[in-house]
Structure 1
Amino acid sequence: MPLFGKSSTFSENPEVREVEKIVAKEGRADQKNLDHAIKDLSHADKAHNKSIKAAENAAHALDKAVANENKAARAVDKAVHHHETAIADEQNAGKVIETTKQHQERLKQDLEQRKENVEGLRQLKETNDQAREERLADLHGREAAAVEARSNYSPGDRANSVGSVGAAGKPSPTATSAEGAVDTAGPTATGAGGATERGRSA
């Protein structure tokens, strides 16, 4: 006869049969409780395993978040460094521009001074060139006058001049003029003309 199961072979003794029923009922109740407990344990084990997995996932998520935060922090540091570098480059560029402008201004002033100097030298050269041309023209004029005076005078004129002096006691105006032109014909045409006038007045 089974201990806790149903059986049609109960004792013929009513008292024993009643006890057997009670014992069987208690056994079934205990089995039911055990089954529920086992089922609950299985559920609890699954929940525990699930919680462990969730905790592991949370740990992974935390590690990933920490890694992302560190990466972001490095990116921020790098960005800050780049920003500071950009600011420094901007300031240096501003200084370079200012220095370049100052240098450009100095070069501009120097250029203006050189232009003024060149213009002054050009004007001076033009003035000197004009003065030199006038000197050369005057020199060439005097030379031409002297050549002309010499070309107009001949040895016969000098003989006539001497004869006139011997005959009359004083030179004729023509002879004196020619002789004076020869004697006084020098570097200037004005000098030749002046000598002629002096010969005539004598």
Structure 2
Amino acid sequence: MGLFGKSDSSSDNPEIRQVEKIIAKEAREDQKNLDHTIKDLSGAEKAHNKSIKAVDKASHQLDKAVEKEHKAAKALNRAAHSHDSAVSNEQSAEKTVEIKKQHEARLEKDLEQKRRQLDELQQRKAHNDQVRETKLSQIHAQAAAAADARRSSFDRASVGGAPASGAAPGAAAGAANASAGAAGAPSV
């Protein structure tokens, strides 16, 4: 009898046939179990290969994610540096504006002081000009009065008859009026 099939010579003995059936049945079940196990092993190998591929794929994705995170970290660092630089520039600009404002205020104060000095000097000059004009008018009036007095005494002395004392009081009065007019002149 063959191992997995019917024997060529069928036994007439029912016990042997019963044993042959049991053995054939066990052989078929063993073959089924073996086929099933081979199939399971093949499925497990496929699943294992899939998991290897999945791990490899996940590893590549991890590498890409790490690389992307590094790029993002670099970009973040650049942005943080740029932001810090912008904040620093802003603070510097604010300080510059404050310094310029202080300088402008100081210059404005100096300008006001110089304007006051100019006004004072203009007023002083105007007053001094008026005083000088008054003095010049008085000097001119006195000189004119003296010249008139000399002329009239010269004229009388050459004519011979008129008293010199009579002409002098008129000339002196004219000179006094001229100097009083100059002194009382309105100031500009």
Q: TM-score, normalised by structure 1?
A: 0.64
Partner of 1:67: 67
CA–CA distance in structure 2, aligned partners of residues 101 and 62 of structure 1: 57
Conservation of the 8 A alpha-carbon contact between 2:2 and 2:8: no
CA–CA distance in structure 2, aligned partners of residues 189 and 30 of structure 1: 165
Partner of 1:189: 175
SS in 1 for 2:42: helix
Partner of 1:197: none
CA–CA distance in structure 2, aligned partners of residues 88 and 160 of structure 1: 103
CA offsets 1:6-63 (integer angstroms, 9 cap, x no match): x6x8424324972654453333223212221221122112211221122112212322
Which moves more between the two structures, 144-153 or 89-98?
A: 144-153
Which amino acid counterpart does residue 66 of structure 1 have in structure 2?
V
The reply to whether residue 11 of structure 1 matches residue 9 of structure 2 is yes
Conservation of the 8 A alpha-carbon contact between 2:3 and 2:24: yes
CA offsets 1:127-161 (integer angstroms, 9 cap, x no match): 12212332343344445556766787885x44442
Gaps of 5+ in 1: 165-171, 193-202
CA–CA distance in structure 2, aligned partners of residues 159 and 20 of structure 1: 198
**TM-aligned CA deviation for residue 111 of structure 1:** 1.0
Gaps of 5+ in 2: 179-188
CA–CA distance in structure 1, aligned partners of residues 23 and 12 of structure 2: 14
Count of matched residue positions in the alignment of Structure 1 and Structure 2: 175
Conservation of the 8 A alpha-carbon contact between 1:10 and 1:20: no
Which amino acid counterpart does residue 77 of structure 1 have in structure 2?
N
CA 1:160/1:98 → structure 2, altered by over 3 Å: closer, same or farther? closer
SS in 1 for 2:4: coil
Which amino acid counterpart does residue 30 of structure 2 have in structure 1?
D
The reply to whether residue 39 of structure 1 matches residue 39 of structure 2 is yes
Conservation of the 8 A alpha-carbon contact between 1:4 and 1:27: yes
Amino-acid identity (%): 50
Partner of 1:125: 125
Which amino acid counterpart does residue 73 of structure 2 have in structure 1?
A
CA offsets 1:115-134 (integer angstroms, 9 cap, x no match): 11111111111112212332
CA–CA distance in structure 1, aligned partners of residues 10 and 48 of structure 2: 51
Which amino acid counterpart does residue 114 of structure 1 have in structure 2?
K
Tell me: higher relative CO, structure 1 or 2? Use CA pairs within 8 A at least 6 residues apart. 2
Q: TM-score, normalised by structure 2?
A: 0.68
CA–CA distance in structure 2, aligned partners of residues 79 and 95 of structure 1: 24
Query: Which protein shows a greater Rg?
Result: 1
Partner of 2:106: 106
